[in-house]
Amino acid sequence: MGAVYQINKGVSKPIVFKGLKAQYIAYLAIGLVLLLLSFAILYISGLSLLIVMPLILILGTALFMVTFRLSYRFGEHGLMKYLAKKRLPTYVRFSSRRLFINLKYNKIDLQNLNVKK
């Protein structure tokens, strides 16, 4: 009888928890910790619960809505790609050809790792 091998399905799939994908779980956790700390600081500073509770509830609702919207819109790596694409210049302009001419005539000596002209 042949050997029985276990098949690991979904090994490279992103972590998903209640619809949140990958790093958005961490974003939500960090946001909730910050909300807890801000509640404690505001309450200890003497602010009324009638002001603190609605403020924290509104901020918590906004945190959940934004995090779930980003997770749905961009997915696992989409937000990083989107932010990286926004940082790219629309074009690159050079005032001289010297850069490209130097690229053509420079030789690399692999033994000494020195650039020779």
For residues 35 and 56, the answer to whether their CB atoms sit within 8 Å is yes
β-pairing, 107-109 with 16-17? unpaired
What are the residue ranges spanned by the domains of the chain? 16-88
* Bridge partners (DSSP) listed for residue 16: 21
Which helix (H) or strand (E) is 115 found in, with range? strand 114-116
pLDDT of amino acid 110? 47
Q: Which pLDDT score is estimated for 76?
A: 85
Digit-by-digit pLDDT tens for the chain (117 residues) are: 668 888 887 777 777 788 888 889 999 999 999 999 999 999 999 999 999 999 999 999 999 999 999 989 988 888 889 999 989 888 877 787 777 777 766 555 445 555 555
